[in-house]
Structures are given as structure tokens and as C-alpha cells.
Amino acid sequence: MAQEKDVRFIRLQFTDIFGVLKNVAIPPHQLEKALDGELMFDGSSIEGFVRIEESDMYLMPDPNTFVIFPWRPQEGSVARLICDVYHEDGTPFAGDPRQVLKRVLAEAGSMGYTMNVGPECEFFLFHTDEKGQPTLETHDKAGYFDLTPVDLGENARGDMAIALENMGFEIEESHHEVAPGQHEIDFKYTDALTAADSIVTFKFVVRTIAQRHGLHATFMPKPIFGINGSGMHTNQSLFKEGKNAFYDPKGPLELSETAYFYLGGLIQHARHMTAITNPTVNSYKRLVPGYEAPVYIAWSAKNRSPLIRIPAKRGVSTRIEMRNPDPSCNPYLAIAVMLKAGLDGIRNKTQAPPSIDGNISEMNETERIAQGIPSLPGSLREAVTDLEKDEIIKEALGSHIVEKYLEAKKLEWDQYRTRITQWEIEEYLTKF
Ligand code: ADP
Ligand code: MG
Ligand code: MG
Ligand code: MG
Ligand code: MG
């Protein structure tokens, strides 16, 4: 294919533990060597990877991920391959997030399950200034599902959907979101590994196409105070022998026992995996009441506000929608910990609490406590403390990633916590 399509460069891609896309570009004559896993790189300069003295890493491309970037000219096109990272002796590298997901998927496999994931990635499109630097300005006054023919963002979003389709994505819908300048593009669910690869690719494509329209796309969870932030609702289901294992026409709400145990696991581990699904200081500014983002740990098949929603569709589309993840997460790790939590629920037959179908945000604290409804962590610091307490979630990630991840997140928190913000200046400078 590389020869046929006159590919001039192939980008070998992988992500660091924070989900940041890395790549090495190779010419086609290096491709055979690369496919044999013989391409070495220095892992010591990648965040969360290895110490200097053990820095030689090998990339093993996954041939299923070969795609040509559609926005390049036909002549001299550029392709990519997503890779796994190995040690020189051929053992998988413990700091490779893609292999963390593969490991938890194998665990599901040994229980007879495959996992399907359908993410809903939201993002903002902002204007850039004369120097090409991103601003916080959107000239758009549109809202949810609005059609605004003159809007730059609408044009860009259309091109994004086309580019993604050309790369093999099956786009289900794309629409303007609630906040000005906010958009969502949904693609059809796939097996979990493909979904995680797709999320990484999606963010890259959205940013690239935005730039070509003179816009800046951001997946920062909460760029502007006072309006909705961007989430990455994660729809998930387990299949067994080709059938949706969450569906049981005779079960309560037509859900199977497996679905309830999976739900029980998600709820039990919810607080402890938030540092992974909502990994930044800024993530916790989205998880506040009043902006459609979840705050309280509960589930419902009736209303959209709790952490976990069971959408109405049944049969093959029976699924659990986890609503706290945001697009700043590493999708490999986020999917891995959610699956691990669900599998733990199935194994231990963890009972899900009764559903909460009333509006939780209208309850006061006493009412919530009376009903036993806990909250998600209020800050990255709280989330880190909770992750440290959960052996199951830590097992999913492996000790290498746990150590590097916690170290980095504690540092991130300390850097933030010692800064003096504009809010403090406005609030205190003249008052005291
Ligand atoms: P919402 O109603 O929350 O806005 P969307 O329609 O935007 O939901 O997105 C629903 C997502 O769920 C899509 O990506 C879709 O492909 C996915 N989905 C459908 N069936 C399943 C399933 N069985 N397992 C996982 N995801 C699924
Ligand atoms: Mg949606
Ligand atoms: Mg929808
Ligand atoms: Mg949405
Ligand atoms: Mg949703």
C-alpha cells in the first residue's frame, strides 16, 4: 500500500503515559525493518518512560492501523502506523499505555468478554490572533444543534468529519454543543483497542483541520468559567459470543445481571479512577454543579444528570454511559481502568446501589447523605489520594505507570496550588 499510494513518509506513533501523541517519521525503505520491530528509539526523553540507563526501546507497528492522512497532497503522501513499545529482549514495556489496555482486554477475554466503546468527544474551536496564537474568542453565538451557515467553526467541523471518514471512521453525527464555539463529533463504537487508537487519532485530526481553518481546537476540559466544559462520555458494553452481554429482555430494565455487576464495579471504583479519567487540575473545574457535568456518584436509566446513564436503546446497543471522563485523559488508561472496575464488579458480584431518578443537583447535602450518594473527588489532589488507595485500579495500570503517574500528578498539583490566581488578586488585593 505504501508503494501503491506513493507514500513518502510513515509516522510511527505511540503515546506517553499522559496520552500525548509521539511519533518518529521513517521513509518507506525503512518500513520492512520497522514492521519487524527492529526500529529503536531513545525512551529516556519520553515523559513517564524510562531512566537513562535503560533507554533503548523498540517500536512494534500494528499493521491494522495503517492509514494515509487524507489532507496531504496525493503525490508524496504521508501515512501512519500505531505502535506498541517493547524492550530489546522482546518483552512488552510496562510504561506503554496501549499495552496496559491490551492486558486488561486479555483479562476480559479470559472471562469470555470483548469490550465495545463509543466515545463522545467534545471540544472548543477558538480564533487565533495575528501571530497565530490561540485566543479564547469565538465569534459564534450558536447553541446545541444550531445550524449557522456563516460560522467558520461549522465549516471546519464539516471538513473534520470528512477527513475522519476518509481515514475509516464511521461518523454517526456531528453537532454544535451547548456552549458557544463548542462542538461534538461522534463516531460509531468499535472494539475498545480500536476506540482508544481512534480517540488519539481523532484529537490529532481535529487539531490539524482546525489549524488549516485558522482556528485552534482544544480538548482542555474547562477553558471558560461560567459555560459548559468538554467531556468525553464513554459508552461501553461487553459482548459474549457475539451477543451483547448487558442485554437481557427478562431482566429489570431489560438489563442482565452482568450489566448490574459491571455497574456495581464502576460505582465502587469511581472515585479511585477519577485521577485517570479526569487527569488535570482543570478537569475538576468541569466537574461542578450546573453545567451538565456529573458530580455525584449515582446511576439512572431515566435522567441525564448522574455519573452513569443507561441510554434507552436495547438489544445490540444496550450500553452503560460513563459521563465523567474528559478528553484530556489518556484513552488507553481511562478505558483500561473502567473495564477493570467493571470486571471486578462481575467477579465479586458487586451490587449496584438503587438508581437515583430524581434530580440530584436539587437535593441538599443532608438528603444526599441520607440516600448514600457520594461525590466525585473535588480536585486533582483528592483524586490522586483516592487512586493510591485502590489496589484493583493500581493493578490495572501496573506499578511502573502508577509510580510515574502519581509522581507527575503530585508535581502538577503543587505547581498549581502555589500559583496566585487572578481570582485571588481580584478578591483580596484591595480587601486586605
Ligand atoms: P448521547 O445520547 O449521550 O448524546 P451519542 O448518540 O452522542 O449519545 O453517542 C452514543 C455513542 O454510543 C456512539 O458512539 C455509539 O456508537 C455508541 N454505542 C452504541 N451502541 C454501543 C454499544 N453496544 N457499546 C458501546 N457503545 C455503543
Ligand atoms: Mg452525544
Ligand atoms: Mg446523540
Ligand atoms: Mg455532548
Ligand atoms: Mg452522552
At 150 the pLDDT is: 55
**Beta strand 171-176 with 39-42: parallel, antiparallel or unpaired?**
unpaired
Contacts of 226 (CB under 8 A, 6+ apart): none
Reported as a single tens digit per residue, the pLDDT across 377-403 is: 999 999 999 999 999 999 999 999 999
> Looking at the DSSP assignment, which residues form a beta bridge with residue 81?
12
Stronger pLDDT, 241 or 42, i.e. the higher one: 241
286-328 tens-digit pLDDT: 999 889 899 999 999 988 789 999 999 999 999 999 999 999 9
414-421 average pLDDT score:
97
24 has pLDDT over 80: yes
pLDDT for 143 beyond 80: no
What are the backbone angles phi and psi of residue 134, rounded to the nearest 5°?
-65, 140
Paired with 375 in beta bridges are 296
pLDDT at 38 over 90: no
Assigned CATH topology for domain 3-94 = Ubiquitin-like (UB roll) (3.10.20)
pLDDT at 157: 93
What are all long-range contacts of 345-349, with beta carbons under 8 Å and residues at least 24 apart? 345/261, 345/262, 345/263, 345/264, 345/265, 345/266, 345/268, 346/111, 346/258, 346/261, 346/262, 346/265, 347/111, 348/261, 348/265, 349/261, 349/264
Q: Where are the domains of the chain?
A: 3-94, 102-422
Of 35-44, 351-360, 396-405, which has the strongest mean pLDDT?
A: 396-405
Q: Can you give the pLDDT at residue 268?
A: 98
Q: Which atom of ligand 1 is nearest to the CA of 119?
A: 14
Q: What is the mean pLDDT of residues 134-143?
A: 77
pTM given for the model: 0.95
DSSP string covering 305-361, please?
A: -SSEE--S--GGG--EEE----TTS-HHHHHHHHHHHHHHHHHTTPPPPPP--S-GG
Same CATH fold assignment for domains 3-94 and 102-422:
no
Ramachandran assignment for 48, one of left (phi > 0), alpha (psi -120 to 50 degrees), beta (any other): left
**pLDDT higher than 80, residue 141:** no
145 pLDDT more than 70: no
Q: Would the pLDDT of 52 be above 70?
A: no
Is this complex's ipTM strictly greater than 0.95? yes
Considering the segment(s) 102-422 as one domain, its CATH architecture is: 2-Layer Sandwich (3.30)
Query: What would the mean pLDDT of 68-76 be, rounded to a whole number?
Result: 79
**Residue 239, SS3 per DSSP:** strand
Q: Is residue 412 marked as binding? A: no
Band (39; pLDDT cuts 50, 70, 90): confident
Of all ligands present, the nearest one to the C-alpha of 317 is 1
* pLDDT at residue 144, as a whole number: 63
Please work out whether the CB of residue 231 comes within 6 Å of at least one atom of ligand 1: no
Question: pLDDT-derived band of residue 186, with 50, 70 and 90 as boundaries?
Answer: very high
Q: Max alpha carbon distance in the chain (Å)?
A: 71
Provide the pLDDT for residue 62.
Answer: 96
pLDDT: is 53 or 203 the higher one?
203
Query: Looking at residues 354-360, what average pLDDT do you find?
Result: 87
CA angle 306, 308, 312 (to 5 degrees): 100
For residue 87, what is its C-alpha cell? Answer: 524492550
Residue 387: predicted pLDDT: 98
Alpha-carbon distance of 266 to 345, in angstroms, equals 7
pLDDT band at residue 146 under the 50/70/90 scheme: low
> Average pLDDT of the chain?
92
303 is annotated as contributing to ligand binding: no
- What average pLDDT does this structure show over 3-18? 93
Q: What is the pLDDT of residue 147?
A: 59
Residue 246 alpha carbon, nearest atom of ligand 1: 23
Active site residues: 42, 120, 122, 177, 184, 233, 304, 321, 323
In this structure, of 142-151, 207-216, 245-254, 326-335, the range with the lowest mean pLDDT score is 142-151
- Residue 304 annotated as binding site: yes
Report whether pLDDT(178) > 90.
Answer: no
Cα distance between residue 331 and residue 192, in whole Å: 10
Tell me the torsion sign for CA atoms 215, 220, 224, 230. Answer: positive
Mean pLDDT of 70-88: 86
Q: What is the pLDDT confidence band of residue 366, given thresholds at 50, 70 and 90? A: confident
Q: Does the C-beta of 236 come closer than 6 Å to ligand 1?
A: yes
Atom in ligand 1 nearest the alpha carbon of residue 186: 14
Q: How many CA atoms lie within 13 A of 19 on its CB side?
A: 27
pLDDT at 29: 93
Q: Residue 148 pLDDT > 60, yes or no?
A: no
DSSP reduced 3-state for 122:
strand
Cell of 426: 481580584
Those residues whose C-beta lies under 8 Å from the C-beta of residue 58, and which sit 6 or more positions away, are 37, 38, 39, 40, 41, 85, 86, 87, 88
Contacts of 211 (CB under 8 A, 6+ apart): 217
Mean pLDDT of the region 222-228: 95
Which residues neighbour ligand 4 (ion) by CB within 5 Å?
184
* Pocket mutation for ligand 1, best pick of 189, 199, 234, 238 (most atoms within 8 Å of C-beta): 189
